[in-house]
């Protein structure tokens, strides 16, 4: 799908980083502050993983999973994520779905199938996109690229709190091990690995609040505009 002229002119802030670094929360805050659209690219991969699991499609069957990605009946409405018209927001946040998403995201065919869908979110007045390859692959011409990170232990604690707050049982040691394995898998995959772009600004959220992180990115954007 070729981008329209209005899409190509719409500014983009690309925020990449490892799992549980807080990039989704920060990206949503930045989008709200600037009145921009928001893209949670990870949700698309989680939707593909969820669709595969529900269809009984093996997660290592690249062609079959990519076929699901191409025809994915996904939509976003009023802060909710829908699959085939059914709200699946909470289902996407389970550890099983997150782990499965990391696996299917490593397939080149799946990433290709979702590329045009992600770029279609680029609409005026602007877009804040978060993921792992927003600045390197999906929006390489983004006006501001941010690599947002935090220590593995801090990220595990954040994920643990999120799950417990939702009433989902969790083990902090298992979460830490999973995050480290996911980091290694995301960084070493042959297609669109998780890397900090040379022109991306580094933001470590280990010792700062969400509000401080949002304010920092907004300030960076206004400086660059």
Classify strands 80-83 and 74-77 as parallel, antiparallel or unpaired: antiparallel
Kindly tell me if the per-residue pLDDT of 9 is higher than 80: no
Percent of the chain topping pLDDT 70: 96
Alpha helices (H) along 35-151: 41-55, 62-70, 89-92, 95-104, 108-119
DSSP, collapsed to helix, strand or coil, labels residue 81 as strand
Q: How many helices (H) and strands (E) does the chain have?
A: 10, 8
CB 222 within 8 A of CB 167: no
Q: Which domains does the chain have, with CATH numbers?
A: 11-224 (3.40.50.300)
What confidence tens digit (pLDDT) does each residue in 20-44 have?
888 999 999 999 999 999 998 989 9
Kindly tell me if the per-residue pLDDT of 8 is higher than 70: no
> Which pLDDT belongs to residue 224?
86
Q: Count CB-CB contacts under 10 A for residue 173.
A: 9
* Dist. CA 15–CA 38, nearest whole Å: 11
| Residue 1 pLDDT level (bands cut at 50, 70, 90) | very low
What confidence tens digit (pLDDT) does each residue in 116-175 have?
889 989 999 999 999 989 999 999 999 999 999 998 999 999 889 888 888 888 899 999
> Which pLDDT belongs to residue 64?
97
> Which pLDDT belongs to residue 130?
95
* Dist. CA 117–CA 39, nearest whole Å: 10
CB 130 within 8 A of CB 39: yes
> Which pLDDT belongs to residue 13?
98
Element spanning 213, H or E: helix 210-224
| Residue 7 pLDDT level (bands cut at 50, 70, 90) | low
Kindly tell me if the per-residue pLDDT of 2 is higher than 70: no
54-67 mean pLDDT: 96
Angle between helices 41-55 and 62-70 (to 10 degrees): 120
Q: Report the sign of the C-alpha dihedral through residues 143, 220, 187, 116, in that order.
A: negative
What confidence tens digit (pLDDT) does each residue in 81-96 have?
899 999 999 899 888 8
In 71-167, where do the E strands start and end? 74-77, 80-83, 86-87, 127-131, 144-149
Residues 6+ apart with CB under 8 A from 210: 22, 25, 26, 29
60-77 mean pLDDT: 91
């Amino acid at each position: 799908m070729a981008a329209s002229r209005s899409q190509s002119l719409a500014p983009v802030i690309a925020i990449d980083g490892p799992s549980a670094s807080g990039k989704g929360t920060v990206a949503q805050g930045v989008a709200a502050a600037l009145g921009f659209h928001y893209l949670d690219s990870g949700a698309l991969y989680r939707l593909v993983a969820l669709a595969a699991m529900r269809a009984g499609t093996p997660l290592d069957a690249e062609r079959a999973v990519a076929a699901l990605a191409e025809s994915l009946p996904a939509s976003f409405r009023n802060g909710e994520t829908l699959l085939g018209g059914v709200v699946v927001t909470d289902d996407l946040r389970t550890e099983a779905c997150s782990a499965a998403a990391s696996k299917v995201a490593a397939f080149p065919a799946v990433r290709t199938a979702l590329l045009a869908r992600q770029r279609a979110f680029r609409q005026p007045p602007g877009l804040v996109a978060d993921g792992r390859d927003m600045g390197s692959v999906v929006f390489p011409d983004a006006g501001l690229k941010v690599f947002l990170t935090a220590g593995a232990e801090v990220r595990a604690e954040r994920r643990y709190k999120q799950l417990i707050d939702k009433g989902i049982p969790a083990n902090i040691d298992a979460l830490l091990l999973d995050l480290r394995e996911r980091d290694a898998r995301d960084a070493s995959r042959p297609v669109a690995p998780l890397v900090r772009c040379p022109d991306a600004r580094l933001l470590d959220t280990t010792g700062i609040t969400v509000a401080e992180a949002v304010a920092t990115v907004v300030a960076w954007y206004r400086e660059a505009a």
